[in-house]
Every structure is written in structure tokens, then in C-alpha cells.
Amino acid sequence: MVATLRSFRTARLADLLAFGGTTATIGARVVKDSLTRLYEIEIGAGARKVRLDGKVPRPLSRYFGGFNVVVFTPEDLNVPRGSPGERRRFLDRGVFNLEPAYLSVAQDYERVLKNRNSVLRRADDVPRTQLDDMLAVYDQQLAELAVAVVAARRRFLDRIRVELARAFASIMRTTATASAHYVSKTLDATPADIVAMLRDARVKDLATQATQVGPHRDDVALSLDGHDAGGFASQGQLRAIMLAWKTAELAVLAHEHGDSPILLLDDVSSELDPHRNRYLFEHLATLAGQCFITTTHSSHVLLVDQRADYRIENGQILE
């Protein structure tokens, strides 16, 4: 939340408040290259206040990029067999870490998409000429943002692909190759191409009251030796692919930013078999970065040195 201003669990700020509470505050004092900075967020039922070193950052983009966080949760292990929407959200977390400016592009795309869909839902109440003019404006805006979204997602996948294959081979001790590819109807399309595609799909858009073309319909194809991993890989192989993805993401971000990201592991060990849990911690022990691990039992954490344990009881953090 501190790093990205959004939770990996929910898009609703109200969900982050304690039951019966009206506000919440979270902050982090981040030390990097001998420079200490204070990141703070105050959350209300429908709003948030953001401060960097005690001041409101203007523009908000100044808040990002000072430190990076990679999150790995048990839900991530289900991504290969989940919905395309889950895979897009999973992908976008990685894209944002690599390119913090991507957040504003993605938000602008979602805003224009929401407005266009709103027009589609009100189509029966709008004169046809006016409707066509409104959609034409949104088509152009959506097309330009779509190209930027697709390009950023592809850049990330291009960077992570080699590391993904290498990490998977190490985890599984196998010659099988894991890979990830971007699936999109607008691949290599120009804004003019996408405008034409939106125009061609307008009858269907009006019938469904939703935009059918764009990166909000795209997917990430995870494969094992060229075959769809979601359909053909074993559960163990799928979990190894997701572990490999996060390992690859750490490597790419460390190379890009010059230091290792902070790694957050949310009760992942309870979902892994002993072999892969051991691999995970063997890998963590070689990292120079900081790692926060939440787990239901300390025995899942196979680290002995450079470790501090805390216990949470009734909302209180105890050493």
C-alpha cells in the first residue's frame, strides 16, 4: 500500500479500515543510498491523503519510484488457471514496478473506458449523430492509451522471459521450458488501426453495452514446452511457474534499479510442498534485499540468520 498506493487485495479503500473504524494511517521510513524518506498515507472511507517527507507530493508521480516492492500471495499460485482478468492484474503489478509511470497510463485508460461504456449504456437516450460524435472522441482517446498500455506490458514480458525460463529450470530441475507471451487483438496495432477496430465492433458494443476491443480484453499465455500451462501442466509445475515469475521479477527489477526490491511473501509457504518451500528460502538467503513474510506458523520460514520474528494478537504487534 505504501509503495503503490493500492492494496493487492482490494480496490476499495473502505475495506482497509478496521471494523467500526473511520480512518487508518500507514507509513514507512525508507532508507536508500544513505537517504531517509518518509512515506505516509491516511485512509478514510472514500478518500486518501498522501504525504512524502511530510508534504503533499505534486504531481503525485513524484511519490513513486523511490523504492520497489514485489508481492507474492497464495492467490498468485492460482493465476495460470484463473481468469484473464486475474492474469492482467498480476501482469500489471509487475509492469508498474518496472515503469512507475505506467500507473497513470493504466488509470487514464480505465477512466476513458469507463466513460465510453457509460455512453454505450445510454445509447438509446442519445440522438444517433450525437452518439457517433461522442464515441468517435472516446475511440481516439482509448486507441492512443491502448497502444501505450500494450507496449508497456510487452516490454515487461520481453524483459522477464529469459529469467522466467532460467528460474523455472532451477526450481524443477528439468529441461522443460516455461514461458509467457502477450495475447492481444491489438498487438502491433497503431492508434488508427484500433480506432478502425472499435468502429467495426460498434454494433456489438452497443448490443452488449461494453467495449469489446482493447487491452482490457487481453491475456497472458503461460506455457510449458509450448503447451498451455493452465490446461496441461501439473499443479506442482504451475506453482513452480509462479515462483519462477516472482524470482524473475526480482532479478529484472534489481538490474533495472540497481538494488533489490523489498519482497513481501503473504503466507505462501503454507501452499507449497516442502521441496519448493526449501528452494524458495534457499533463494531468499542469496538476496541482498529485505523481505517481509507473513505466515501462520514460524516453522514455515526456513531462515535462521538475519531474521526477526513478530507475533500479531488481537491487532497488536508483539516481539
pLDDT band at 56 (very low <50, low <70, confident <90, very high): very high
pLDDT band at 158 (very low <50, low <70, confident <90, very high): very high
Predicted local distance difference test score (pLDDT) of residue 287: 65
Instruction: Kindly report, residue by residue over 298-310, the tens digit of the pLDDT.
Output: 888 887 778 888 9
Instruction: Kindly report, residue by residue over 225-272, the tens digit of the pLDDT.
Output: 999 998 888 888 888 898 889 889 988 998 888 888 888 888 877 767
161 has a pLDDT exceeding 90 = yes
Residue 115 grid coordinates: 466513460
Are 26 and 41 within 8 A, CB to CB? yes
Return the C-alpha torsion angle 231, 232, 233, 239, nearest 10.
0
Predicted local distance difference test score (pLDDT) of residue 288: 64
More confident residue, 279 or 312: 312
Domains of the chain: 1-62 (no CATH), 68-318 (1.20.1050.90)
Give me Rg for the CA atoms of the chain: 22
Instruction: Kindly report, residue by residue over 75-102, the tens digit of the pLDDT.
Output: 888 899 899 999 999 999 899 889 988 9
